[in-house]
Chains A and B, each alone.
Chain A
Amino acid sequence: MALDNMKTTGFTQVGTTPNRPDGLDKVTGRARFGADVTAPGMLHAVIVRSPHAHARIKRIDTSKAEALAGVKGIVTRADFATGLTGENWNILENVMASDTALYDGHAVAAVAATSALTARDAAKLVEVEYEILPHVTDVDKAMAPDAPVIRAGAADGSVPEGQHPNVVRYHESGHGDVQAGFDEADLVIEDHFTTEATHQGYIEPHACLGILGGDGKGELWCCTQGHWNVQKICAALLGLETANLRVTASEIGGGFGGKTAVFIEPVALALARKTNKPVKLVMPRADVFKATGPTASTSMDIKIGMKKDGTITAAQGVFRLQGGAFPGAPADMTAMCAFAPYALSNVHQVGYDVMSNRPKQAAYRAPGSPMAAFAVESVIDELCGQLGLDPIEVRLKNASKEGTKASYGPTFQRIGLVETLEAAKAHPHYSAPLKPGQGRGISCGFWFNHGGETAVSLALSEDGTAQLAVGTPDIGGSRASMALMAAEELGIPYENIRVTIADTATLGYNEVSHGSRVTYASGLATIEAARDAVKKLCGRAAAKWGIPEDAVKWENGCAVPSGPNAGDFDPLPMAEITANMGATGGPIVGHFEATPEGAGVSFATHIVDAEVDPETGKTSVVRYTVVQDAGKAIHPTYVEGQFQGGAAQGIGWALNEEYIYGDDGRLQNALFLDYRIPVASDLPMIDTVIIEVPNPGHPYGVRGVGETSICPPLAAIANAVSAAAAVRLRQLPMSPPRILEALEQKRDG
């Protein structure tokens, strides 16, 4: 059901593309990122990490490190709260190991010293005696009967009997009769697919500065996607009262989900408490790779049946996700997203969350969905190829639409998948000729999106400008979008609104910037806060004119009588009302605090042309088009940026990026030199098409756009590469050695 106050046309500011308010700060170096914050008397911290994939910690001797001049404090697990349970225990165990190091890079101690160099030297003097234990880093091996157990008792009640203890969560869903569906099919294809763990690859490493006194009151500055979450977790891990820890989010140099988790902030605060000094902690890049969340790696089996006319008769998938040494791999999301683009009478999906001796996986844009799409859309591509069907026509024939029973259960409301497919089909890219050695791939993708707890405040100034305080860190240009929405409602220029990311002492709880929720939820909150302020402005005008409040309406930034019977008064501009607000009732502030629950799902269709060099195995992506439903593009340039960013990261994931572990269980490529993310020369210009099918759960129809854009690329690129190389690629990344191996196997028959 659409909101009563929904607006989908007649925008004056929404849909325009003004410069972002933080742009000048960022290009001139004035913006303060996590590592830019300093404090008088500040110490520098370094974390001591396990060099072993799995080892019992028998003894930690800090005496030599403590004796080094300049060292002011060392913490181990003993310096954190005890008695934690559930997820707080898991987080603390990851932040600082207790009796067992669970992966290469697991933190075991931390040192604070007067300089970073001294802290690094001291860290080398911390002596840790380990008893090395058997390890496992591969998902299929971790599920095998003889696999070493990462942690007994970690599984919850969802796991069926007979599974290895490393299987800690289980998901199963679907409907219909898949066997009957397969029996109806003219062609059934079943294949196995794997993807490797990839890192979010944000350019700014995790960084923070913590202050915590003996009175239990503290301050924390950090780069994070959600500082209320940091506040809550740090308070729990350090035994603090939540309100006594104020957390301020810095500018953020990329997050993509990887900064929704907490890694170093409790350590900096523990050291600050121990030394009674401010403590700064900046992760080296190698630590970022080793100890912050990459994605899960996967092993997947997909089976799909299709009739000669392209109708999908049944689909089933088994998704095994390796999520590192803690529960939480998104096996459920992977399974639920896998077949969501299609209206299926018979579908069944199973997901396994599997622990291994790797760092705890973290969210990365639509967690789980890109891998699922890779496997599912590859099989659909194979079916289309073997049946001689057009891949877009087949997807259109089976596409989910309003009223479709989703593969994960509920009935879809208004969605825009068909519109993305029609736009892709009509795009010149789809009919453009290919050169020899090139192949074209397409894929659809799906993501849920999210709402979440949200609070904003909009304070009007005496001169008629406005200050908007939001609580969701700006990870994609959201301040510009918020200012546009506030300007739209208030009827004042975009430039007259300053948007600030408020600290935890300023607003009510704000959920993390995740789930593509910011433009949806903080945007909805901004609109409602502006409407609250407008109501108060109208009230002041009504009082001035001596007419009822409901006889005043707001138009073009002015209070005006709502009709001829309300009286004859000249429009009263906002600045004239706010100029005297102190004397007419006090400051005017609009508020909104709620948990919006109408995020609305989103779909995309991508078209990719790839060229494969059969001599070297190198792939070049020569043309790329993203078509995605944004609901309503508030700032179209930033929507396009999200589309392009998802595609660019997908290109890296598909072609080159992977965590490589040695037989010793240690990460072999913990540097950008060896872990290759795409650079500008690897990418074509990524074309974008914004589809706008309004989300009925947002006043302007907004759908989140930050994550869906990374769902189709792995599959679309795999389909293009498979076409170009004339051999099906079922393992990511499709790096040159893997492509050469596939070509060789094809030659050998």
Chain B
Amino acid sequence: MVEVNLWSGLRPLADGKDKVEVEAETVGEVLSGLVQAHPGLQDAIDAGVSVAVDGRVIASSLTEPVKPDSEVFLMQRLKGG
């Protein structure tokens, strides 16, 4: 299981939790696992998110690997100038 940290604003959509455990080996599976556990997160994820895995911010690639002991944070999608 991978522990995924949510930003505080998502808690109302995840039964008040700020950490959710999902079965995942990739960033894509993290996202699908979150939606499976808490369907209310679907819109927020569809709106665009990044996933920080062990400090690396993954903006797009769903195939990036995730390990059970990885530090995983869901973040809002980054946009630059």
Contacts and interface: CB of A to CB of B under 8 A. Distances in A.
A156 B47 contact: yes
12 contacts: A156-B43, A156-B44, A158-B9, A333-B78, A336-B76, A408-B75, A409-B52, A413-B55, A413-B56, A597-B59, A597-B60, A697-B56
B80 A707 contact: yes
Contact of B76 (A171, A410, A697): A171
Contacts of A595: 59-61
A315 B29 CA distance: 34
**Most chain-A Cβ atoms within 10 A of its Cβ — which of B12, B44, B59, B64?**
B59
**Most chain-A Cβ atoms within 10 A of its Cβ — which of B5, B9, B43, B64?**
B9
Interface majority SS (helix, strand, loop, mixed), chain A: loop
**In the A-B complex, the 9 residue pairs with the closest CB atoms:** A257-B81, A515-B80, A363-B81, A410-B52, A172-B8, A172-B9, A332-B76, A409-B73, A413-B55
A516 interface: yes
A493 B18 CA distance: 54
Interface stretch (A282-290, A449-457, A608-616): A449-457
Contacts of A256: 81
A158 B43 CA distance: 9
B47 A597 contact: no
B56 A597 contact: yes
Interface residues of A, number: 48
A599 B57 contact: yes
Interface string B1-27: 000010111101100000000000000
Contacts of A157: 13, 40, 43-44
Interface string A138-177: 0000000000000000001110100000000011111000
Interface string B37-81: 000100110010000101111111100100000010101101111
A236 B9 CA distance: 32
A330 B58 CA distance: 19
Interface of A: 156-158, 160, 170-174, 200, 256-258, 260, 330, 332-333, 336, 362-367, 408-413, 447-453, 514-517, 595, 597-599, 601, 697, 707
Nearest to B74: A409
Nearest to B5: A409
Contacts of A449: 80
A174 to B, nearest CB: 6
Given A257-B81, A367-B81, A409-B73, A170 B9 contact: yes
Contacts of B80: 257, 363, 366-367, 447-450, 514-517, 707
B41 to A, nearest CB: 9
Nearest to B27: A597
A359 B81 CA distance: 17
A365 B9 contact: no
A608 B13 CA distance: 45
Interface of B: 5, 7-10, 12-13, 40, 43-44, 47, 52, 54-61, 64, 71, 73, 75-76, 78-81
A713 B3 CA distance: 38
A269 to B, nearest CB: 25
A707 B81 contact: yes
A409 B10 CA distance: 14
Given A158-B9, A257-B81, A515-B80, 14 more contacts: A156-B44, A157-B13, A200-B81, A336-B76, A366-B80, A410-B55, A412-B55, A447-B80, A448-B78, A449-B80, A451-B59, A597-B56, A597-B58, A697-B56
A447 B55 CA distance: 14
A448 B52 CA distance: 12
A258 to B, nearest CB: 8
Contacts of A707: 80-81
Contact of A158 (B44, B59, B79): B44
A268 B12 CA distance: 45
Contacts of A365: 81
Contacts of B81: 200, 256-258, 260, 362-367, 514-515, 707
Contacts of B56: 413, 597-598, 697
B61 A597 contact: yes
B48 to A, nearest CB: 9
A452 B60 contact: yes
Nearest to B76: A332
A502 B67 CA distance: 38
A448 B8 CA distance: 20
B79 A363 contact: yes
Contacts of A601: 57
A515 B79 contact: yes
A332 B69 CA distance: 27
Contacts of B58: 597
Nearest to B52: A410
Contacts of B40: 157
Contacts of A514: 79-81
B8 to A, nearest CB: 4
Contacts of A260: 81
Contacts of B7: 171-173, 408-409
A200 B7 CA distance: 31
Contacts of A171: 7, 9, 76
A333 B79 contact: yes
A496 to B, nearest CB: 32
Contact of A174 (B8, B10, B55, B64): B8
A256 B81 CA distance: 6
Nearest to A408: B75
A451 B52 CA distance: 13
A408 B8 CA distance: 10
Nearest to B60: A595
Contacts of A333: 76, 78-79
A173 B8 contact: yes
A337 B32 CA distance: 27
Contact of A173 (B9, B13, B60): B9
A597 B64 contact: yes
